[in-house]
Structure 1
Amino acid sequence: MAEPLRVVVTGAAGQIAYSLLYMIAKGDVFGPDQPLILHLLDIPVMMGVLEGVVMELADCALPLLRDVIPTDDPVVAFTDVSSAFLVGAMPRKQGMERKDLLAANVKIFKVQGEALDKYAKKDVKVLVVGNPANTNALICSKYAPSIPKENFSAMTRLDQNRAQAQIAAKLNVPVGTVSNVIIWGNHSSTQYPDASHAVIDKNGNIEKAVDAIGNEQWLRETFLATVQKRGAAVIAARKMSSAMSAAKAASDHMRDWFLGTKSGKFVSMGVISAGAYGVPKDVIFSFPVIIENRKWKVVEGLPIDDFSRSMLDATGKELCEEREEALQIIQA
């Protein structure tokens, strides 16, 4: 058996973590032979609830789970961790402006970045789930200068999974036959779900999704709007935000980061931009990536038509605006 891997989950008493912790602890993320020590971080007022979560993890009798450490102390939470799921963030409340949300979260992710910098392993892989995820990840990275910028990512896998499911439903095919759907840009309403490079595997015969669908208007209007607004639709129906699907997406994201992507397939991750595809540099931008040996690489050379160009420019502009707002808040 390998040495236990230390994994931190923040917001550990919350809804997303309630689904995510079980997926991690039973081996879905790091593999069926990787023992784990879970560090569970939440705020002091949630410690009682977190104790109940710890009891449930014990009662699951999961063979890979060596220890569970509940805490409200970032030092304890981030010491020697190799993987970090930053789920906890200030949620957007009614009447709250985006700047208010950024102001609250800048403080949270500054503290967590500083703790990662001081106490985590230098090769730690950090996934930010808490929104605004892209800019939170950027701020977290800024305050962890000893950790490579490439080790910080924002989750757009939920959007990718949603897009994949919409295409599968449209074509009445199993969702597992659909791959290479891309989410570009920000995890916000400006994101660009792009099916133009997606493929369908029909018993070994590969067909382009756009050809199988044969309806450009559906792809640019219905498909786009459905994926962009899916989170709001879930809240309207459930009266609560996406939790189970967000946890599954976080699990998928980190699994691929640790175990690699399959040959010929790519996934969407919010990663630090070096300017690929003409998008702004030094923002966390969602690109199609392939992953090998725990290192991601942006898929290069995909054709970008005029419609796609306009969508990439719009989401890039929003990310630059968010970055400037966040930096102003820090410097104030």
Structure 2
Amino acid sequence: MLPSSLLQRLASWCPWLLRDEPKQPVKVLVTGAAGQIGYAIVAMIARGLMLGPDQPVVLHMLDLPKSTDALSGVRMELIDAALPLLRGVVATSDEAEAFRGVSFAVLIGGWPRKEGMQRKDLIANNVPIYQSQAFALQQHAAPNCKVLVVANPANTNALVLKELAPAVPAKNITCLTRLDHNRALGQISEKLGVHVGDVRNAIVWGNHSSTQFPDASHAIARTQHGEKPVRELIADEKWFKEEFVTVVQQRGEAVIKARKQSSSLSAASAACNHMRDWILGTPKGTWVSMGVCSDGSYGVPKGIFYSFPVTCEKGEWSIVQGLEVDDFARSKMELSANELDEERSMAY
């Protein structure tokens, strides 16, 4: 008989080896799958980076009819990759077929913002897209399907989806601010000269826009002397309020300027992080940033989709309560909430 310590290691490294029955495949939808983020994320999902190394998946990929050839090419590559967890691939431009039976949906497809386009026009162009997808979600997805909206404006697209799919619980619809959260962790780790895995509990409050508020007030870093509050390790209030906030807020623009395309790999990775933590749980003592439907916590208006610090357990998220918010943070949080209230009025 194997020693208990070895069994524990096996359970950690290869959980499927100790399970009597293998997990059944689950269906995962990616919209906009022929695009750059979609192309990056489907392989990540099929490798177990989203739902775990023991969870087989059937990928459903949706894109516009004009992208049929490109989508077919993505399907070919997935098959050619011979990924053990991948049990099937559906590539389609039909929403009903794409949403049928899916337990998880990552909505990347949307109307892209073009040069000179105002935010209200972007919102107006996305409403009919999410109206159609809301219908497909209600009619065809599996019960309790969990949804992540990535397409911008992500917070308001998630709101539209919630309003137009009333049969879907609001708690099952979220939007992506994990990319901003990861960017905040990265900036802190670079400032301290530590590995990003040694930094936790940064927060991104608000909208996935230039009004977001990256907050390091409660962040903790692991050093050779143990865990310390980041504000003790970086005694530079100006950096926290100016450079740190600005760099995180404008990181997307900096990436576009550098590579002439928007963030793809990092966005796909963040979407996997978001769903993995939501489904499999956050580590004890750690929170992450997720765009969720506000319940009024921290004075944020109810009903808007706002990025909060959350913990996750057994497939459910909970907003972290009782964190101290100073006047500077409050003013930034209110600015983002006001923007989201304005976006809500534009959408309806």
TM-score (normalizing by structure 1): 0.97
Structure 1: gaps (5+ residues):
328-332
Alignment-mate amino acid for residue 36 of structure 2: Q
Structure 1 CA distance for aligned equivalents of residues 316 and 99 of structure 2:
21
Whole-Å Cα distance in 1 between the matches of residues 55 and 33 of structure 2? 21
- Distance in 2, Cα, partners of 1:27 & 1:263: 22
Q: Secondary structure at the match of 1:314?
A: helix
Q: Deviations over 1:13-43 (max 9, x none)?
A: 0000111111100111111111100000000
In structure 2, C-alpha distance between the alignment counterparts of 1:245 and 1:233, rounded to whole Å: 13
Partner of 1:257, secondary structure, is helix
Say which SS state the counterpart of residue 207 (structure 1) adopts.
Answer: strand
Pick from 25, 47, 50: which aligns with 2:46? 25
Task: Determine the structure 2 residue equivalent to 1:330.
Answer: none
Matched AA of 1:280: P
Match of 1:86 among 82, 102, 107: 107
- Contact 1:127 / 1:152 at 8 angstroms: preserved in 2? yes
User: Residue 323 of structure 2: which of 302, 321, 325 is its match?
Assistant: 302
> What is the TM-score of this pair, normalised by structure 2?
0.93
User: Is 1:132 aligned to residue 153 of structure 2?
Assistant: yes
Alignment of 1:59-98 (within 5 A): 59-98=80-119
Secondary structure class of the residue paired with 2:252: helix
Partner of 2:183: 162
Alpha carbons 1:122, 1:146 under 8 Å: kept: no
Distance 2:256 2:130 in 1: 25
Residues 55-204 of structure 1 aligned to structure 2 (within 5 Å): 55-203=76-224
User: Once the 2 structures are TM-superposed, how far is the Cα of residue 122 of structure 1 from its aligned partner?
Assistant: 2.3
Q: Could you tell me which residue of structure 2 aligns to residue 275 of structure 1?
A: 296
Q: Rg larger in 1 or in 2?
A: 2
The amino acid across from 2:138 in the alignment is: D
Counterpart in the other structure of 1:217: 238
Tell me the residue number matched to 1:14. 35
Amino acid at match of 2:237: E
Report the counterpart of residue 311 of structure 2 in structure 1: 290
User: Secondary structure of the residue that 2:317 maps to in structure 1?
Assistant: strand
Letter in 2 for 1:168: S
The Cα offsets for residues 249-295 of structure 1, whole Å up to 9 and x where unpaired, read as 00100000110000000000000001000011100000000000100
SS at match of 1:303: coil
Q: 1:54 aligns with which of 72, 75, 78?
A: 75
**Percent identity of paired positions between Structure 1 and Structure 2:** 54
| CA offsets 1:73-129 (integer angstroms, 9 cap, x no match) | 110010111100000111110011111100111111111111101111221110000
Contact 1:117 1:143 survives alignment (8 Å)? no
The one-letter code of the counterpart of 1:72 is S
Give the aligned partner of residue 287 of structure 2: 266
**Structural RMSD (CA):** 0.8
Deviation at 1:204, TM superposition (A): 7.4
Distance 2:51 2:179 in 1: 19
What residue number does 2:18 align with? none
Work out whether residues 259 and 293 of structure 1, in 8 Å CA contact, stay in contact via their aligned partners in 2.
Answer: yes
Question: Structure 2 CA distance, aligned partners of 1:280 and 1:214?
Answer: 33
- Structure 2: runs of 5+ lacking an equivalent: 1-21
Distance 2:166 2:309 in 1: 25
Distance 1:137 1:218 in 2: 32
Amino acid of the structure 2 residue aligned with 1:58: I
Please list every run of at least 4 consecutive aligned residues from structure 1 whose deviation after the TM superposition is greater than 6 angstroms: none
Tell me the residue number matched to 1:206: 227
Quick one: which amino acid aligns to residue 320 of structure 2? V
Count of aligned positions: 327
Which residue identity lines up with residue 256 of structure 1 in the other structure?
A: D
